[in-house]
Structure 1
Amino acid sequence: MLSESLARITSLPARNFMALVIDDGSDDRTSRIALAADPALVRLHRRTPPNARKGKGAALNDGVRHLRESGLLAGYDPADVVLCVVDADGRLDPHVVQSVDPYFDDPNTGAVQVCVRMYNRHLGLLARLQDMEFVVYGDVFQSARRFIGSVGMGGNGQFMRLAALNTLDGDGPWSDSLTEDLDLGVRLIAKGWTNMHCTTAAVSQQAVLSLKRLIRQRSRWFQGHLQSAGLVPLILRDVPTRPAIDLLYHLSSPVLILLTSLLPVSFLVAVGATAVASVQAGHPLVSPMWLLGPYLLSFTAAYAYGYVYARRERDLGLVRSVLLAHVFVFYGYIWFFAGWWGFWRMLTGQRGWLKTART
């Protein structure tokens, strides 16, 4: 994966860039692959135990520290330096630099998040649903948050102005949270910077093909959102009202998910009780038309999601996209399992980095 990612990065049409590979004490071929790449465009930074494997935030902070202290950025104004985080499996669109660069013409822009896609979305239903999830999140929710002023950063494909990172307090721009990207986006907004979302370029990553691994990944994200509750005082103090309301809602989503997870149980109990009562009465107690209400309540959004996804995946077509969106509604239930897993890990004091296992 890393070799393919580096091949795409080094083939970008822009030439005023450098790729810094951070080997965070890995036991694979990370260093060997980085050293085999074009030395004019790719540099390697090794982290060794006991300092390595302390989480993504720690690795990114050390990477920024290395850039500052190594002299690689000597002579450059931090306002003119843009850093991009790309995971080992990340594949940037060839035109990503041309798409993102205009956003930084505004000196108030601190960060830009590009769209996220799954490059292996053709390998089964689970991969396709993950691709739909990120498309809907980017094209609907992130686009709306751009107008609100509360765009969030993602772990892959986030571009940040170095001058903006330099304004953040602490040992480094990124926190030790399991969702360090969420924390970064909020703290940039609190410092008065503008986060933008770019819909014309994307970074493609590998979808998780195992349901168990996917729930494991989302449990880490969920636990990170719970950890980010500590950002609430900062938001109330330093973020303007409109984006603050959205950010507070976003940070409250874990609690809402846990509460919502109880609804399907109560619904199944009600359906079961009605079925038993119908058998005892010898006739249906519920008219088929009564099912229309629950259907509309559950699946109306599927038509909007299907339309949005069909615009990105024209080969799939609108009808198939809408049908897929109906399955997507049930796919969202994985957050219930991931949520309770993440909540349990937090209650029991488990803070280890659950790295996503890919193939």
Structure 2
Amino acid sequence: MSWAAFSQWFGEIVDFVSHIYDGLPIWALPIFLVAVVLVAISTISLFILGVRAGSQLRRAARADASGADLAGEHDYLWVFLVPALNEETVIADSVGRLTEVQVTHKRILVINDGSDDGTGEVLARISEPDLTVLTRVAPNARQGKSEALNDAWRYLHRVVLGEGRYRGWDPARVIVTIVDADGRLDRMAGRAARFFDDERVGGVQSQVRIYNRGGLVTVAQDLEFGVFGTVFQLGRTGWGTANMGGNGQFNRLAALDDIAVEDAEGRIGPWRAGRLTEDQDIGLRLIQAGWRGAQSSKVIIEQQGLHSLRALYRQRTRWAQGGWQVLDLLGPTARNRHVGFGPKLDQLWYLLTPVVQAWVGLSVVLSIVFLTTGISRPPMTVFIVVLAYVFSAMPGVIGVLLSRRRRGVGEFFIGLLLAHLYLIYSWLIYPVVYRSLLRQLTGSKSWAKTKREAIAPAEAGPASASA
């Protein structure tokens, strides 16, 4: 690049920045200035987490090469909790795959939470000695996923550890694993044991992927989970602040016991009632209690994606509202003495995600309004447009390329293409942050269950096929 070309481009940038807010109403300036700061912080945060995630991936590769992550699973009792409400189309497949998980000590507890379809009949046809079906009926049934999991937690203590083969088993060596009814857990899930060999670890999250990638929307969801697990979660693992994601979530029973609370009915359990994202809530509370959270890059759990945009909006609205709910943990997080200054700032930033998204989204909407109405006319050149595109697209591109980890020129360009699909998808579902805020402000806590797709016989697990 010649000095003249550089001087011209630098001059364009200075001119653009100097006049970008010309003509804007005074009331709008703070909105845009704060948005710029938030975007800058987000970019810096992503860069730091990406570097740290790369370090974790290299560490996992060394452990895999040495076989270290395959050892020690026999030291633990693995208890799989499967909440099920009207899951007749997928429950047999999920349970069937859990029977194939290669761990020495195992129990499968399916919580039939008041199903009125054929879920109970499907489960009754499964002959598996490690399987127990806990049937909840009215008025206790259908009170929420937290309540169903708490019921299984109490049964685990009272029956599984209170009598029979596993009586008196140390809760520090019991790994409670949450598997959604559509979940397909890795047969080698016991590789998560290497994390729990550190007595400070209270939770480990599997890498979540989508198995029915039959369209652009489901492919985008797979990319979404891949980016979050690989970049954000792995980036926080070294700090011990990786959060839990529900499906494929491993928790040390002693850690769950440590954060158990009493609900309005006087019942004890780790999961707080009324939380729309009970996984996020419990992961944050484990960290606040001094336990460490980790993300596995090797253990995979697959689940169904949603082909319907309407269903996707409904699901993501519920998840986003859960993000607004956990803002009540800002204070405890700020006072948490178990993590250092840097990780604490990152935790606070993570909690503020819905606030940041809402603010930046507002600035984007105002930008469109001001540009289309001619209120603002910043100096635009081809170079400025390209530069703006690069900076806006770069975080998503880096995230997708890092999560895919494919080598070769062809794979690189495929990654670029998929990254732009991911960016379009991200903006497509962006409005859920406002829809969820409205629901939170109006006190709405109702939710609609995600409808499952029927599973093709060729894809079914052993129990599903026999059922």
TM above 0.5, yes or no, is yes
Q: Which range moves more in the overlay, 234-243 or 18-27?
A: 234-243
Name the SS of the counterpart of 2:446 in structure 1: coil
Instruction: Measure the CA separation in 1 of the matches of 2:402 and 2:139.
Output: 46
Instruction: Measure the CA separation in 2 of the matches of 1:310 and 1:132.
Output: 9
Instruction: Measure the CA separation in 2 of the matches of 1:140 and 1:338.
Output: 23
Q: What displacement does 1:252 show? A: 0.7
Q: Indicate whether 1:33 and 2:122 are aligned.
A: yes
Q: Indicate whether 1:83 and 2:180 are aligned.
A: no
Q: What displacement does 1:28 show? A: 2.3
Name the SS of the counterpart of 2:157 in structure 1: helix
Q: What displacement does 1:214 show? A: 0.8
Confirm or deny: 8 A CA contact 2:226 2:400 kept in the other structure: no
Q: What displacement does 1:275 show? A: 12
CA-based RMSD of the aligned residues comes to 2.3
Q: CA-to-partner distance for each residue in 1:129-167, whole Å, 9 max, x for gaps? A: 000011111111101111232110011000111111111
Instruction: Measure the CA separation in 2 of the matches of 1:167 and 1:306.
Output: 37
- Number of residues paired by the alignment? 351
Which structure is higher in RCO with an 8 Å CA cutoff and minimum separation 6?
Answer: 2
Q: Which residue of 2 aligns with 1:140?
A: 231
Q: What displacement does 1:286 show? A: 4.0
Q: What displacement does 1:50 show? A: 1.0
Instruction: Measure the CA separation in 2 of the matches of 1:35 and 1:142.
Output: 38
Q: What displacement does 1:263 show? A: 2.8
Confirm or deny: 8 A CA contact 1:81 1:162 kept in the other structure: yes
AA at the equivalent of 1:84: T
Confirm or deny: 8 A CA contact 1:114 1:197 kept in the other structure: yes
Instruction: Measure the CA separation in 2 of the matches of 1:125 and 1:358.
Output: 18
Q: CA-to-partner distance for each residue in 1:291-349, whole Å, 9 max, x for gaps? A: 112211211123313322432699x8221221111121121124431111111111211
Return the index of the structure with the highest Cα Rg. 2
Q: Indicate whether 1:156 and 2:247 are aligned.
A: yes
Q: Which residue of 2 aligns with 1:328?
A: 422
Q: Which residue of 1 aligns with 2:437?
A: 343
Task: Provide the identity percentage.
Answer: 37
Q: Which residue of 1 aligns with 2:97?
A: 8
Task: Kindly report which structure 2 residues correspond to 1:1-359, keeping only aligned pairs within 5 A, or say none.
Answer: 1-70=90-159, 71=162, 73-97=166-190, 99-121=191-213, 123-170=214-261, 171-176=268-273, 177-239=275-337, 240=339, 241-273=341-373, 286-311=380-405, 317-359=411-453
Instruction: Measure the CA separation in 2 of the matches of 1:313 and 1:188.
Output: 37
Name the SS of the counterpart of 1:17 in structure 2: strand
Query: Could you state the TM-score of these two structures normalised by the residue count of structure 2?
Result: 0.71
Would you identify which runs of 4 or more consecutive aligned residues in structure 1 move more than 3 Å? 273-277
Instruction: Measure the CA separation in 2 of the matches of 1:39 and 1:300.
Output: 49
Instruction: Measure the CA separation in 1 of the matches of 2:269 and 2:396.
Output: 41
Q: Which residue of 2 aligns with 1:282?
A: none
Instruction: Measure the CA separation in 1 of the matches of 2:120 and 2:186.
Output: 24
Query: Could you state the TM-score of these two structures normalised by the residue count of structure 1?
Result: 0.91
Inter-CA distance 161–212: structure 2 relative to 1 (3 Å threshold): same
Instruction: Measure the CA separation in 1 of the matches of 2:258 and 2:400.
Output: 41
Q: What displacement does 1:112 show? A: 0.8
Instruction: Measure the CA separation in 1 of the matches of 2:397 and 2:333.
Output: 34
Q: What displacement does 1:57 show? A: 0.8
Q: What displacement does 1:127 show? A: 0.3
Q: What displacement does 1:271 show? A: 4.3
